[in-house]
Amino acid sequence: MMRRIPRLTLAALLTSALPFSASAAISSAAILASTTSPICLEYKVVGICYWLLCTNFGCKVKTSTKVRHYIPDAVVSAYANTGENPWTEVSSTGAPSASAQAGNDGTTNHNAENNITKFKEADVIGHPGAAVFSRFVSSFGYSCHGATTPYVPYMLSTLDSLAWRYGVPESVYPEALTPGMRDVGETQSADMWGSIYPRSGFIHQVEDFKAGAVIAQRAGDITTRSGQPHVYLPMLAQAEPGYWPAGELKEGDARTGKWQQLTPTMSPTCVVFPSPPPNVDAVDEAYAWALWRPYSCCERKGQTFLGSTDFQ
């Protein structure tokens, strides 16, 4: 049983290393611009909410529109060299520590070395584009709020060394020992990218882009759940009357979340892994994606929420 770390103490640890660096591949400005994607947003009117409004003159039922759309909750980075997060302004957050000295893998990408294990660090940091996104989505109508705070680290793998570098305790989990139980892709379709478990930084994968994507999926899997044996903060909002937040991320299921590539190339669209080509390997083996997650909500029209009706 791992010792529980107080939430405030963990937040202080995760945010203590925020001096900026200028050595990475994408800036906050570029990430902000990526939030205005109507394809990733996928704004829809999905139903009607019912509210009981009571005044001194009596009570009546009011209605409001129920909407659903995706929100860029976090920037998830997967990179080979410890301390070299491709997001410029936060690259120093994952600097080497006493328990996480270095990264990278032992392969030179020669065909004869394709079986050598790759390693990547992973950071999950609150998406910086909340204000830009809010203005963008307001043009569509009423909007929901997400589960994260800009620039707050929800996971830094350098602080999760026992689980991330040694696979403790997940190497003996059924998901890690049972082929096909939690995979990104399928062996039958010859499009197997890798397994979710153990959720560590090591992976057997010939193509570096696919390795980075699986590592990002693992980090998203951890941070969208509570009570995991890792050092992290959950990206989970509490359900409220008229508000249905995103839940657990599941590989291959866009209804739980989807990915917008930020680097090495910027994409205006969102996908789930495995995604169709082109999937380009980065020269520096560093990748970043925005994780968009689905939320539903409706405007409060009374004191008491009576329920909702979905069109589908």
pLDDT one-digit tens code per residue, 170-198: 999 999 999 989 999 987 777 899 999 99
130-183 pLDDT, tens digit each: 999 999 999 999 999 999 999 999 999 999 999 999 999 999 999 999 998 999
- pLDDT surpasses 80 at 8: no
286 domain-assigned? yes
Please tell me the predicted confidence (pLDDT) of residue 106. Answer: 54
| Alpha-carbon gap, residue 45 to 28, rounded angstroms | 31
Q: Does residue 279 sit within a domain? A: yes
Size (the chain), residues? 312
Neighbouring CB atoms inside 10 A of 201's CB total: 29
State the total domains in the chain. Answer: 1
Residue 207, phi-psi category: left (phi > 0), alpha (psi -120 to 50), beta (remainder): beta
Domain that holds residue 68: 7-310
Domain membership of residue 1 (yes or no) is no
Cis omega before residue 198 (within 30°)?
Answer: yes
Q: What's the pLDDT band for 306 if we cut at 50, 70, 90?
A: very high
Q: For residue range 66-108, what is the model confidence (pLDDT) as tens digits?
A: 999 999 999 999 999 999 999 999 998 888 877 777 666 654 4
pLDDT score, position 268: 95
155 domain residue, yes or no: yes
Q: Which 8-state DSSP code applies to residue 94? A: G
pLDDT of residue 115: 55
- The predicted structure's pLDDT at residue 1: 39
Q: Which residue has the tokens 């909007």?
A: 143
